[in-house]
Amino acid sequence: MNLSRKLRHRSPQTTRAGAARAATGVALVLIIAAIFTGAVRADRPYAPSRDYHLQNVRVSLRFDLDQRKVIGEVTHTLSPLRDGLTHLDFDSADLTVSSARVNGKDAKFDLRDNKLRVNLAQPAKAGEKFEVNIAYEGKPTSGLYFILPDKDDPNRPKEIWTQGEAEDTHHYIPIYDYPNDRTTSEMILTVPGDWLTVSNGKLLSVQDAAGGMKTWTWRESLPVSTYLISFVAGEFKEKKDNWHNLPIAYYVPRGMEDTIDPTFSHTKQMLDFFSERFGVPYPWEQYAQTAVDDFVASGMENVSATTLAARDMVRADLATEKNEAADGLLSHELTHQWFGDLVTCKDWTNTWLNEGFATFGANLWEEHEYGVDASAYRYWRDQNNWMPSKELFPIPIVTRDINDSVEYVGNVYDKGGWVLNMLRKQLGDDAFFRALKHYLEANRLQNVVTADLVKAIEESSGTNVDPFFDQWIFGAGAPRFSVKSSYDAVTKKVSLSVKQTQKVEGHVGLFRVPVDVAITTAAGQKIFPVEVSKADETFSFAVDGPPLMVLFDKGNKILRSLDFQKSPEEWIRQLQSAQDVPDRADAAVALGNIKDNDSVTAALGEAARRDRFWGVRNEALRALGRLNSPGARKQVFTALFNEQPWVRQVAVEQMGRFQNDEETVKRLQAIYKDDKAYSVRGQALQSLAQDKGAGTMGLLEQALSTSSPDDVLRHSALRAMGMLGDSAAVPSLLEWSSPGKPSALRGVAIGALGRVDLKNHDITARLVSYLNESSFDIRYASIFALGRRGDPSAIEPLEALLKSGQLSISIPHAVEGLIEQLKMQNPSHKDSPAVDEKTADMPGVGASNNQVVVDRLDRLERQMTEMNDRLRKIEASLTGGRSD
């Protein structure tokens, strides 16, 4: 939140160069808020020096629901770290303090610059013990959120939940709010008698209180960083269980009971798996997982009590359509209970020690539960998303320069997970997991920096990993390989020319990496390990005959891009016979660029139908979609019989590219009517909209009146209306965007309104009216729809929204970028910065051209849709759909 405030204070004149970053940052801001979990936004890369050590925090909270107010009392037990301290400072925002007492006596205090200063009667000595009691109240703008029924949604469950990371706990408790201290805590919540509450550690008691209320007392007896303190309270349903005598529980908002089993069924296996794999038993007194509405992220690893987004829960009637259920999210947060919670980064510079491990842990679970192909495919996709990123590539994983870099978040998650997986491959499982165990044990309940991990690895395995960390963690980028192979029939040698083509500058250097070269001849496959370290080098391998297939970095063990010149026959052989998923997926991608070649099309069709792993089938389908020839269409049609809905969905999605084709339209209409999976039927509607075939509008109207689980079909119909771009859809879209309709559908309808009848100012005015609603999702969708419409009358309302300070996590950054875009599209607007030469070459910034902005939004949406199933669902509720 501090970062956002700083951005708000920048004048338009100084933000132009930053606008490119802000605008590209939009994609990442969305990604942060949408998928990832506890998005880190912080402006203090260095941990502050401490005056005292916090030992215990005892918080009592009551709530005024009508006023969305918290009424609290906190008692801090603490001990100064040096002599002569005359006052004690606490972080505090949005709160009014009515009294402060030190060791039972009234103390003078003042509040300024988000600090509460409590004066001591006389200078303190190091090691002395103080009890500081503070009474306060306030209306938090972040950190604590009220979800309440209103006239449009009178039955919605009442909920209050918190989100502490990065530095937001001090918006509802005056407290030391940075990770580099740890304290035990007590959370005492007085709430209506029919509510449930969930907090950290152990539930000590539930007692009747005046006025039909109940007081719940929770205690976390192990010291944790204050951003991990949390609670949830409200109208929830619970399911209790236990795991080796430890209480575990699942909570969902009233009315979502059917999601509990399909979402949480793997929890106990995950607890067993991670306890065994990390070598340290699950360390806390309970494990609660609570789904809440309108959560600001997908999940947050609060100590022993993870909070999750209700929109990510798996519905029973759609469970068979969902690949890997919600396991990715659940295993990410559960990994954090060790990496992030038991051992916590000392400062945000070292966030990758939290997020890289959580990403790695989720992939580890995926490998265990769904097989090595599934996790290899995940890494391959993460790599292909990360490598082209111009923003992420030049920034090291560990950098102090995080003030202006929302981009860096993409490094600490995906690249962080990748780097840990490389380290695992290079050390071997035995040494690697021994090192993790040692790292966890040596730093248990402490705060860490990257050097602590390096040291633990060296102590447990003897291996000095400084060079590895220097290039992958403190250095930036990754190798971009360009490889050519040739065969000399006389000497029977394969020679491989290997170039590293990344630009060596800034933090990006040449890489020294171990690479497996695999050469297959008629006699079979042989693997040659080599070390690549130069910009340009040639390796030579003795073989027993002409090579049939040459793989560089077999199995994709290195984070890299690879440009390997091969003939169509070689790629086909690789698609058909490489052992590892990444090598077959690479071949599918390469074949998708080879036009007018019947054997290529046939091989891709074969792979789309029969590859033993679904991900390769999907890549083959995407390659056929890109080829988009009559032959490729035929192959896609034959793959429509795939059993997994998530493969059929990709096939149907590709059909959206086959425009002006009668048979495609007929088939899509039949799929919409007959497919067993709602997700596939919904995709058919969207592909029809892309085809823009006659009669589609009628079908969409019909779908809009059809009930389906979770409104999947209405959802798709609204999205498709936006894609179709037909003004005839405006009345339906306005109707479904209105207050009173289900919030998820409103979000989609609003997104679609961003794409139709762009000259119609009434639509803009309607979207502007939604900016003042309390729902995070509705405001979010409206902001983006306004950005897409490009109507300058939205600029002032957006600026007013920004100034109001009513925006929560991640939003201000996105709004700033959109305001800049709108101004640049509309140079006549009075605040429009003039285009200058410096910015003119930045795509979408210098050019005051509507199309550029639309392209940027399209690209943004594409990036988002490519992330994963979870993101896909959220994105669908935010924007009007993809245009590619």
Least distance to Zn ion from the beta carbon of 335, Å? 8
CB under 5 A: which stretch of 154-162, 214-222, 278-286, 351-359 binds Zn ion? 351-359
User: Phi and psi for 796 in degrees, rounded to 5?
Assistant: -65, -45
How open is the CA angle 63-163-155, to the nearest 5 degrees?
55
What's the maximum distance between 2 C-alpha atoms anywhere in the chain?
94
- Nearest approach in angstroms of CB 396 to Zn ion is 19
Helix (H) or strand (E) holding 538: strand 536-542
Provide, rounded to whole angstroms, the least separation between the CB of residue 340 and Zn ion: 7
Q: Cβ of residue 297: shortest distance to Zn ion, in angstroms?
A: 9
Footprint (CB under 5 A) of Zn ion, residues 586-615: none
| Cβ 301 to Zn ion shortest distance, Å | 6
Q: What are phi and psi of 742, to 5 degrees?
A: -55, 140
Instruction: Provide the minimum distance between the beta carbon of 416 and Zn ion in the complex, in angstroms, as a whole number.
Output: 10
Tokens of 496: 């491989």
336 or 719, CB closer to Zn ion? Answer: 336
| Window of 156-164, 201-209, 356-364, 450-458 that interacts with Zn ion by CB under 5 A | 356-364
**Contact region for Zn ion (CB under 5 A) — 354-362, 394-402, 516-524, 791-799?**
354-362
**Cβ proximity to Zn ion, 40 vs 624, nearer residue:** 40
Q: DSSP letters along 362-426, please? A: HHHHHHHHH-HHHHHHHHHHHHHHHTT-TTTTTS-SS-S--TT-TTHHHIIIIIHHHHHHHHHHH
Classify strands 69-80 and 130-138 as parallel, antiparallel or unpaired: antiparallel
User: Could you tell me if residue 212 is left (phi over 0), alpha (psi between -120 and 50 degrees) or otherwise beta?
Assistant: left
Q: For residues 766-795, which are near Zn ion according to CB under 5 A?
A: none
Q: Give the interface segment with Zn ion, choosing from 36-44, 388-396, 452-460, 779-787 (CB under 5 A).
A: 36-44
Distance CA 221, CA 215 (A): 19
Q: Could you tell me the smallest distance in angstroms from the CB atom of residue 501 to Zn ion?
A: 33
**Piece of the chain touching Zn ion by CB under 5 A; list 35-43, 73-81, 170-178, 866-874:** 35-43
In this structure, are residues 300 and 329 in contact, taking their beta carbons and an 8 Å threshold?
Answer: no
Contact range with Zn ion by CB under 5 A, out of 32-40, 115-123, 430-438, 860-868: 32-40
Q: Are 791 and 764 in contact (CB under 8 A)?
A: yes
Of 62-70, 137-145, 348-356, 735-743: span binding Zn ion (CB under 5 A): 348-356
Instruction: Give me the numbers of helices (H) and strands (E) for the chain, helices first please.
Output: 31, 29
Query: Which residue lies nearer to Zn ion by CB, 31 or 822?
Result: 31
Considering the complex, state which of residue 343 and residue 517 has its C-beta at the smaller distance from Zn ion: 343
Alpha helical stretches, state H, 516-613: 568-577, 581-591, 598-610
Give the shortest CB-338-to-Zn ion separation in angstroms: 12
Write the burial class of residue 369 (CB in 10 Å: 0-12 exposed, 13-18 middle, 19+ buried): middle
CB of 330 to Zn ion, least distance (A): 12
Beta carbon nearer to Zn ion, 37 or 687:
37
Amino acid sitting at position 222: L
Q: Does residue 37 bind Zn ion (CB under 5 A)?
A: yes
358/457 with CB nearer Zn ion: 358
Q: How far is the CB of 358 from Zn ion (least distance, A)?
A: 4
Per CB under 5 A, 39 contacts Zn ion? no
How many of the chain's residues bind Zn ion (CB under 5 A)?
3
Of 64-72, 352-360, 364-372, 738-746, the segment contacting Zn ion by CB under 5 A is: 352-360
Task: Give just the sign of the alpha carbon dihedral 388, 393, 397, 402.
Answer: negative
Residue closer to Zn ion by CB (options 348, 770) is 348
**Closer residue to Zn ion (CB): 355 or 452:** 355
Dihedral of the CA atoms 614, 620, 623, 629 (nearest 10)? -130
DSSP class per residue in 295-308: -SSSEE--TTEEEE
Residue choice 330, 358, 362, 814 for contact with Zn ion (CB under 5 A): 358
Helix 630-638 / helix 614-627 crossing angle, nearest 10 deg: 150
CB of 229: closest distance to Zn ion in angstroms?
17
Q: Which stretch binds Zn ion (CB under 5 A): 218-226, 355-363, 480-488, 732-740?
A: 355-363
The distance of closest approach from Cβ of residue 282 to Zn ion in the complex, given in angstroms and rounded to an integer, is 17
* Pick 37 or 618: Cβ nearer Zn ion: 37
Nearer to Zn ion among residue 308 and residue 749 (C-beta): 308
Does 344 bind Zn ion (CB under 5 A)? Our answer is no
834, with CB counted inside 10 A (0-12, 13-18, 19+), is exposed
**Cβ atoms of residues 342 and 737 within 8 Å:** no
Residue whose pair of structure tokens reads 């029809």 in the numeric block: 688
Task: Provide the minimum distance between the beta carbon of 451 and Zn ion in the complex, in angstroms, as a whole number.
Answer: 22
- How long is the chain? 884
Rank residues 22 and 353 by Cβ distance to Zn ion and give the closer one. Answer: 353
Tell me the window of 288-296, 357-365, 454-462, 836-844 that interacts with Zn ion (CB under 5 A): 357-365
Stretch touching Zn ion by CB under 5 A, among 157-165, 349-357, 592-600, 706-714: 349-357
Nearer to Zn ion, 37 or 690 (CB): 37
What are 494's strand-pairing partners? 487, 541
Q: By C-beta, is 299 or 747 nearer to Zn ion? A: 299
Place of tokens 């065994």: 276
CB 413 → Zn ion: shortest distance, Å?
Answer: 7
Q: Choose among 314, 414, 321, 375: nearest CA to 35.
A: 414
Interhelix angle 598-610/630-638, nearest 10 degrees: 20
Closest CA to 500 of 517, 479, 528: 479
- Min separation Cβ 336 and Zn ion, Å: 5
Of 114 and 344, nearer to Zn ion (C-beta) is 344
Comparison of 361 and 797: residue with beta carbon closer to Zn ion = 361
Binding mask 716-745 for Zn ion (x = CB under 5 A): ------------------------------
d(Cα 190, Cα 187) in Å, to the nearest integer? 10
Closest CA to 75 of 99, 111, 93, 109: 99
* Closer Cβ to Zn ion, 358 or 864, answer by number: 358
At residue 361's C-alpha, the angle toward residues 273 and 162, to 5°, is: 105
* CB 332 to Zn ion: min, Å: 6
Which residues sit at the interface with Zn ion, rule CB under 5 A? Answer: 37, 355, 358
